[in-house]
Structure 1
Amino acid sequence: MGKLDAFVITFSNPSGVFYAGTVLEGCVTVVLKDSMEMRGIRLTFEGGSHVSWTETRETGTGDNKSTEHVTYSASEKYFDQEVLLHGIWPSQGRSTTKLPEGVHTFPFQFHLPPGLPSSFEAGEGNIRYLIKCKIDKPWKHDHKTKRPFTIIGILDLNSDLTNSQRVQGIKEKRLCCLCCKSGPISVSFHLDQKGFVPGEVIRPMAEISNGSSRKMNKSFVELKMITTLYAEGSTHVTNKTVARLTRPSIEGHSEDVWSGEEIVIPPLPPSFLLGCKIIDVKYIVQLSVDPAGPAIDLKIPLDVVIGTIPLMSVVQQRPPMAPVGFDGVSSWPTVPSPDSGIAQYPPNMPPPSYNESITGRVSIKDTDDEYTHGDLSFAPSYTYYNWGRTPSAMPEPMGKQ
């Protein structure tokens, strides 16, 4: 690193989590082992979304038949602002100044625009927020560092009455062919409410009647995240199971009941990603019954909403506990003030904690990051309410879905 001993961006809020419409505060620290000549130090605040995927399709017929790969992409920019922390702008010339040996701290503030979509990371799309800093050295490689941070867009479950209402589905399926007789598989499936927050429990309730003579290998309930990307008039849909419960086999002409099993919702982005036009996220809780032998599973999907502010009815019945480390005094992510017009947390309720997304970390390294300092892997952190339960882990893939 030569003269540069440290070059880091830190936030006043150590979690690196912020709400749209609030003020992001922090500082850039430069530690030099010897004086360094530079034109200046510049800081950039960036926020935007990007999607890109490739589809394979066949064109032509006969001898003229060929395969082509078509890539679709789209981007949105939410903000891009640069500020000068030290020295001069490039447009002001090439003159330099010397920053002496020692520790140098440059504080910053940035007012985040309201209505920003929540951070999101997936293989083919992201909503990403970054602070980048550059030590501008006109005759040498610039020193760079960057720090991602999480934006949480508020989704108040109390804003839609249907989120507190029961959701249900009923389905029947016959397995036999015309040459034999067998009764149907009948399933009734429901959830007591539609809206949930991470940390809350989903209790699937179901009655399964196996009127056939065939054994059912298992029944299972999955929380699925369905992501839709939009670009150039096309869409790309991915389906990820983020939690799963399984019950054992059901013999022919017998019944089974789901009545006490629990899915504890892990840290996940809120539904819809409001504010983004090119990425949409929805969730379903799906019950599947898996027949033995060659047959398609019976499936009942129920739409659910994952929010960031819980239903008042849930909080009144059993308030969540304060997160570990919260003392009401130290820096903690806060929602915008009441006069902002944005929904607030219910009164007297402790704030959530902020936990890394269950979907894991991704690389945020770009092609021009050869000389960039900092941690170049990142996972957004989302709201997580402490009702004293451990979040469900990402399930292992199943052979038959």
Structure 2
Amino acid sequence: MAQQAVHPAEPDFPILVIGAGQSGLSAGYHLRRHGLVPGQDFLIVDHAPGPGGAWQFRWPSLTLSTVNRVHDLPGMPFAENADPGGAGAEVPAATAVPRYYQRYEEHFELRVRRPVSVRVVCDRSGDDGLLHAETDRAGTLRVRGLINGTGTWEHPFIPHYRGAETFAGRQLHTRDYRDPAEFAGQHVVVVGGGISAVQLLDEISRVTGTTWVTRSEPAFREAPFDVDAGRRAVAIVEDRVRRGLPPGSVVSVTGLPLDDRLRAARERGVLRRRPMFDHIEPEGVRWADGSFQAAQVILWATGFRSALDHLAPLRLRGPGGGITMSGALATRVAVDPRIHLIGYGPSASTIGANRAGRAAAAELTGYLGLERGALRE
């Protein structure tokens, strides 16, 4: 039997879920399955103006035919709810996925409160035994437990290279990308070795000249990515977070899927990768051997970091630079079982977020003594 926490004060809500993306909605679904009532026993808040999580901010050319995969949320399939107009695979993901999420929220009556940003979470256990979440529009929410599903979209990562501030052209991150046509007539240096990097490289190369640079040699995967391979990749990341290390990315251990579009790009010579340049100059980038590439744009497809700044007062990070995680699927913060992180580490994927939402809901309701029996849909 799970050990129960003792809390001397009454909360505003027993559980707060931060974020209404894949992981937050999954957590909300499973909290309902444990008998908790949305808006009463738990509250989901989200900073965005509407449903869709980070999907609503993706570039227009990312369609259902080009996206890596949109995974079903629990209890409602994506395919039957995303495109009622019948436009098919060319529907922008930024339209189809938010539509699906909206229907999901309405169907399960999750009552997401938005737009609400959580600015900071403080531990007041010495005063009233509760976590205090200070928000911009909902005041300070006192809660017994927290499921954090803020993902990474709000925390883009751009590495520093000498001379970056002198570059006379344009620098942008993946999250700022919209359409390749805006780069016509300019040479674009695409930096990064992930899926987004090669997808955008392919698009941009169709309208203008490109140079692709990465820190390490990209590994392309010809064979299908089966369930066993996925589990092995996730296990590597899970091992890291259980040891308190920064999670790294699942893609870094899975390789890049070589689909038909990328095979065609390779045939066009687009996937000729160069190692990272040494520094940036006003008119382009220069390598250590003295070679130079003139450029008007640098696109940093260098990924994201977990958006956890609001949890900084809780001092969850350890000496290894990461947060030591525990629990069945490594969603529980080891030093504070009131807090679960989903969409972090091994659950930083759509399918992983579903499993993490289920695990976090089960473990947190058990720890807080809130289990009320499963509901039937």
TM over 0.5: no
Compare the two structures and name the one with the higher strand fraction.
Answer: 1
Between 1 and 2, higher relative CO (CA 8 Å, sep ≥ 6) is seen in: 2
Choose 1 or 2 for highest CA Rg. 1
Compare the two structures and name the one with the higher helix fraction.
Answer: 2
